[in-house]
Structure 1
Amino acid sequence: MEKDTGTLKIEWAGQFMPVLSRIREQFVKEQPLHGVTIGMALHVEAKTANLVMTLAAGGAEVYITGCNPLSTQDDVAQALNRVPHVHCFAERGCSVEEYYAAIDKVLDAKPSVTIDDGMDLIHYIHTKRRELLSTVIGGCEETTTGIHRLHAMAAEGKLEFPVVAVNDTPMKHHFDNVHGTGESVLSAVMITTNVLIAGKYLVVAGYGFCGRGLARKAHGLGAKVIVTEVDPRKALEAHMDGFLVMSMAEAARLGDIFVTVSGNAHVINSTHFSQLKDGAILANAGHFNVEIDIDWLEAHASGKESRDGIDTYLLDGKRIHILAEGRLVNLATPKGMGHPAEVMDLSFALQALCARYITEHGKELSGGVYEVPEAIDVQVADQKLASLGITIDTLSDEQKTYLSNWDAGT
C-alpha cells in the first residue's frame, strides 16, 4: 500500500537521526516512560514526529499540539494520529482561539510531564489550569524565549514545578542554535523569495548563538553581514568575528535583507520602517512574532499585497516585504522545513533523555529552572560521534590526577 506524505516525511527525517533511533531502541527495551502521560507543544513536523514516536515507544501516552499557528505540517500531524498512544491536535493556520483550544485539549489529558517550545503549556497551567499543578511532575523547555520566560517566573517565585532548560546546554547552543538556525533560515528566505544572498547587505538583529550562526552562514554565501546588538560584549564579539556592527537606525538605511533573532519585541519598528530601501525583505527567526512591529505596518501602510509566504506593504511609496507574517521564517513559510534533521537529532535526543530524567527525579526537585545533567549532554555527543565513526582520546589516570590536583606548578 502506498504510504501517505506525512509518513514518508517522518521516515525520511528518521534516516538522518541515528542518535534518537538508538535511544528509541533503548526505550523499547526498558520502557522508562511506562504509565507516564506527556503533554507537548512543539513545532509539529517530521523531526518532532520522530521524538513523539520515541516517547510513545518508551511507554508514554503522548498528547501534542503546535507551538506556533503556522509551523504545523498537516500531513505529519495526521500521520501522528495513526501512531498508537499518540494524540495530535495541531493544525496549520489556526486562529489564536483555536491555538489555545488545542493547548486545552492537551492539558485535558492531565500530563505528568510537559515538553514546551516557548513555554505556552507551562504558562497556561500556571495561569488558566492551576488544578493541574498537583499532577505535573516537571517539564522540559526547548527554546531561548521559553527559558527567558521561565527564569522570569522563577525569579518571582511563581514557577511551581521543576523545568529542565534543554535549550541551555552546549549540545543545543553549538549545534541546533548555530547550525540549525543559520542554515534553515537562509534556506527559507531563499526558497520563499528566490533572491540572491551573495552581494547583499544582510542585517542580523541579535548576536546570540542563533544570530552568530546565521551571520556565519550568510557570510559563507557571500552576503555583506551587518549585526545589531544591545549587549556591548556581543557587539564586540561580532566585530572581532569580522562583521559590520551598528545600530538598527544605521542598518535600516543599508540593509537589503533583515532577520531578527533577538527574542525581544519591536526590534524593527516605526522609527526604522521609513528608513528602509524600496523592496527591503524582513524576516523573523525568534520564537514569537513580536520582533517586527507588524501591527504598526498594518495600521499605517497605504496598501498590502499577499502571496505565498510574503506580505508586501506599501509605505511612503516604498515596498516592504514581510516573510511568514513575522513568525518563525524557517517553519512558517509554505515550504519551510525547519532545522536539518541531523541537528534536531541531537536536540530531540536531549529532550527524550530529559523527559526520562524528569520522570525519574522530578518529585525530588522543587519548582525552578534546572540545567541538563552533564552526563546526558555528554551521552548525546558520544552517541553522535559513534554514529559518525569518529573516535577521540580519553584521559589517562595521570592526566586525571593532574587536572584534579591544585599542587602542580611550574
Structure 2
Amino acid sequence: MAWTSDFHSCGGASQSPINIQLSETIFDPSLRPFLLSGFDVPEDEKLKLKNNGHTVVLDLPDNLLIHNGLPQEYRAAQLHFHWGSRGAPGSEHSVDGKRYSGEIHVVHYSTEYSTIQEAMTQPGGLAVLGAFLEAGSEENPTYEHFLTYLPQVSNEGQDTEVPGFNISGLLPGRMERYYRYNGSLTTPPCFQSVNWTIFNDTIKLSERQISMLEDTLHRDDEEILQLNFRNAQHMHGRIILANFRTSPVSGRRDPPADPGFLPVSPVPGDSSDKTPEKDPKLHYESPAPGDSSIETSDEGPKEDPELHHESPAPGDSSIETSDEGPKEDADGEGGTGVVSQPKNISPDNGVIENQRAPTLGTGDMLAIIFGVLFAFTALSFLIYVRKHRNRSRRLNTENKPNVIYKAATTEENIA
C-alpha cells in the first residue's frame, strides 16, 4: 500500500529525504552558526526512551531551544535514528549518492506554536537537525551512555527512562558547516513544513556501537528493526544552500534572484497539505506496510543509479572554505560542517524570501558623477551669461551730458 493513498502530502513536490548534490549547492554566507540552550540536561531529570516499531525515540524537555541559525526560535521535541543493517548503510539523506551507516534527527518546532501537532501543519513550523553516523576506530562515550538502554526497549511498544545527559554530545563536535533546504517529514503524514539542516561533519561510532543500533531493536512481529529509512525523493526544482564552499564552481555562485527558486516551505493553503489525512501522527511513527520506498531485501537498500557520484563526503577536510577551492587532506578526515538559517527568511513563517540589499554598479556610479558635473557646468554657464548681460547693459547706457562748471566771481560794490 503506497503512503499517498492515505496521506496525500507524501506525494508532494517538497518531500524528504533528498540526495545532496554538491555541484548544485549554492553558497550562502548569511547562514549563521547555531546557538543552543538547555541541551545539557541534568542527570536527575529522566528522559523517556521508546521503541515505536519504526525507530527508537528519545523525548526531550521543552526548555531545549535553538536561538540562532534558523528563521525563528525553535523548541526541541524529540530525537530518533535511522539505520541500515550489516553491510548496508541506512542514512536517509545522501551526499552525491553516498549513504552513511545511520542518521540522527533532532526534531524541533517553532515557539510560535504551543504544540508540535499544531506546528507540523504550518509552513516552517518544524526544524530538524540531521547528522550522519559512520564507523570509526574509537567508542563514542555519549552514544555509549544512550545505547546501553536499548536492550530495555528491544520490543515494539517498550519504553524506559534514561538519566539526563548532554544532548548536544549526540551531534557533531563542530557544527559550523551545514546544508539547508526545505522539505517534509520522512514518514506519514509527510507534512511539507520542515526547515532541514544536514551537518557536513559526521559522527563517529565504533563498529560495535553501530552494530548495537542495527541489531538490538525488533518490530511487533519480532523481526529485527533494520533499514528504517525512506529513499531519496525528487527535488522538483528546489535548491540546497550551504554556508561553506562545497566546490570551486558551486562555491562561487550566489542565490538566484528569482525567489521562486529559493528553498521555501509551502505557503498556507497549499493543496498538498490541505487534504484531510488519516491519523496525523508525528513523523517518527511506523510507515505503512508495503511502502516501496523502504527496501528490506537481504541485498540491502538499493540506490538510485543516478545518485552514484564520487565526491567529497561530509566530514572530509578536502573541502575548504577558501576561495582557492577544495584542497586535499593527507589523511582524508576532519571536515567541518554546519549552521542554520536560509537567507532572508521571514520570521513569520520561515519562508525564504529574496530580499537582497540594493547595490550600485560601476555604471551607476559613473552616471551619478557625470550628472553632478553636468549640473555644475550648467550652473556656471548661467552665472556667466547673467554677468555678461549686466556688463553689456552698463556699456550701452547713454553718457550723461557734460556739466560745465563756471568759476564763481566776486563783485565788489564801490561805495
Considering fraction of residues, name the structure with more helix: 1
**TM-score, scaled relative to structure 1:** 0.22
Higher RCO (C-alpha 8 Å, min separation 6): 2
**TM-score, scaled relative to structure 2:** 0.22
